Structure 1
């Protein structure tokens, strides 16, 4: 599995994104609010100036109106031409308007029976004040958001720290020698949240169950290697003694079945003992000559052919040496050979030893696509009439091969035979 981000890192990015978004919202909101506030202040200011101007006009209509750098005001009596009024203001109807003659201004036209007043105001100082107040507000808001986000992140990191510690403990945990106290450590409690406390208890309980399972597996492996082999040995010795007697043809057939069943039991015991071990527990291995093993298995497989007109041959194209338990390769090939001999009524069963694989090719009945797809399923049998087959042969062969990093492959066509391959890593 590819490495993923830690929970603390994800939370940090969440707070960073949240802070950035909040800062953008606050900045845009403040800028928009400052523009609205500036317009409100300017409009209120120009309305007050218009009222003051009307008071001056009422007092003396002929008097010159005061002017300034920020204000330009004009009065046009009713019926007179607004020649003294700048062209940009003349055509404007009563009310507020924005104008631009190098700098933007806010214009206000007030109309009464006496005439019309034209006012033009440059934002000037008010604009600068609002701008700097907005910048200050934005800076303080962003700083506040950053501080709050940082404090929130630190708080969340403290809350999830026990989860991170439990994760590290689980990754370092060895089921073969569990240390129960690590999951119950007070350091994992952190903020003493409900979830962390119960997660630690659940992991400690799981650790105890795994330890019990490992002990049972060890005991079974140890006991089975002795107890299961003992009765098989007794049966084999009894069969050898019976072979020295003069048996009837029927008795000889029964003895052959007894020996075959004994061989099958030994193969199953070897396979199950290997599979019962944990993958990290080493098994006794040595350099095995694959060619020698194939000759031994071929000799054993000839008994399965009985009186069939089938020629069993071994092609020693290569002689690779594989470091593995001595019986494992034999067990796998034995299962492949059993199927080849059982489903071949005439022709050839060929074992070819190559540098990186063993191929078992037969001229039997073959398999269609549906049968081939189920060949490795446990307890599935293509020939239901054979009560001696348990449907575990190919399944055991595949599981044993996977245990050592090998592969068992099948290629088959109905009526054209089957090619079974044991490919070494």
Structure 2
């Protein structure tokens, strides 16, 4: 479509604009000069016609300073240098020339009274010239804008095409709008081709993601369902006390695995189906998390104190909040040694605080974005990602005595 590159088109457009403006300004100055010449000649002819048949002698020569008009004698006696002088009050122009002897001066006096226009006419002429110059400036600006707009038109066209695209719902018309064949082989065409390839990769990635999450959802939930059914059958049989404890551990692990699988699938999906805008209460989820993780304190002399300062409602994904709270509670229980309690959980109107005494195995410089291989549940990095996805905030502060995890909304 375009034979030249964008850079060359911009350079050509700028050159054309400068050339046109230069030509216009040249004609304007030429016209002003001609107008001035015609104006002077017209004034002199009008003066001659007014004194006809006596021709005005408005230009005369004087050989000595004493022969000059009385108003110029004092100036001439000061021995002025060779040149041309103007006396506005007397309306005279005087040329000082050298005679044969360099010490002597001759004078040529040109009386312009009646030839020069009145001051009021000069102001009107200045006003007209200013109007013409302003008009030319506006026309030049408009011409520059028009030329540059034509030069960058393909860029604007591509930008508009990209702005109209809905990335989440790509259609055939979207690909047609940004087809590189519409923009030629210049820089804009290269950019359009890159955007086209990027959208194709995004579309392919979204298709793979939907296929994977759909397949993984079925394949991962099926064994969990089988295990859950087997546990229900085992519960109906007669079991020893130790077998019941083992069955409880398996049930808890199965429930954790089910919740984790569902949350990971939700994080992997591009769409959330409105799950991230549910309203839920914090207190039941915190209480449930404490009960699920209480087995970690079964052999420790550690108390758990829960301060219910409020019962706030939160907008977001309830499973995501439950997993985040479970992870924080698990970390607190696991890293609290015997006699180092209590573990304090405080529920406020805008935040949840989980505080535990710092054990020797916990690094105070631990970063919440790092995944830990030593039993930190899903890892504090996952908690941070869950909070970011739901619009919550998470922070971890540790000193020499205790660790405080804060989840606010």
Taking structure 2 as the reference length, what is the TM-score of the superposition? 0.70
Contact 1:319 1:354 in 2 (8 A): yes
State the match for 1:370 in structure 2: 365
CA distance in 2, matches of 1:125, 1:279: 89
- Cα RMSD after superposing both structures: 4.6
CA displacement at 1:235 relative to structure 2: 4.3
Q: Deviations over 1:252-291 (max 9, x none)?
A: 9987775665444334313212212226742276442321
5+ residue gaps, structure 2, are: 1-9, 41-54
CA distance in 2, matches of 1:278, 1:173: 17
Of residues 393-402 and 158-167 in structure 1, the stretch that sits farther from structure 2 once superposed is 158-167
Q: Quickly say closer, same or farther: Cα 1:126–1:369, change in 2 above 3 A.
A: farther
State the match for 1:54 in structure 2: none
Aligned length: 359
State the match for 1:222 in structure 2: 214
1:74 matched to 2:62? The reply is yes
CA displacement at 1:356 relative to structure 2: 2.2
Q: Quickly say closer, same or farther: Cα 1:123–1:188, change in 2 above 3 A.
A: farther
Q: Quickly say closer, same or farther: Cα 1:106–1:229, change in 2 above 3 A.
A: farther
Contact 2:278 2:318 in 1 (8 A): yes
Contact 1:166 1:200 in 2 (8 A): yes
CA displacement at 1:149 relative to structure 2: 4.7
Aligned partner of residue 313 in structure 1, secondary structure: strand
State the match for 1:404 in structure 2: 390
CA distance in 2, matches of 1:139, 1:172: 44
Contact 2:96 2:105 in 1 (8 A): no
Q: Deviations over 1:280-319 (max 9, x none)?
A: 7422764423211111111011112231111123222222
Q: Deviations over 1:219-251 (max 9, x none)?
A: 222222221122234445556777865597xx9
State the match for 2:51 in structure 1: none
5+ residue gaps, structure 1, are: 1-10, 42-66
CA distance in 2, matches of 1:231, 1:184: 45
Q: Quickly say closer, same or farther: Cα 1:362–1:106, change in 2 above 3 A.
A: farther
Q: Quickly say closer, same or farther: Cα 1:276–1:320, change in 2 above 3 A.
A: same
CA distance in 1, matches of 2:96, 2:256: 108
* Partner residue of 2:149 out of 139, 150, 157: 157
Q: Quickly say closer, same or farther: Cα 1:255–1:193, change in 2 above 3 A.
A: same
State the match for 2:79 in structure 1: 92
Contact 2:394 2:408 in 1 (8 A): yes
1:393 matched to 2:382? The reply is no
State the match for 1:413 in structure 2: 399
CA displacement at 1:421 relative to structure 2: 1.8
1:349 matched to 2:335? The reply is no
1:121 matched to 2:110? The reply is yes
CA distance in 2, matches of 1:260, 1:121: 117
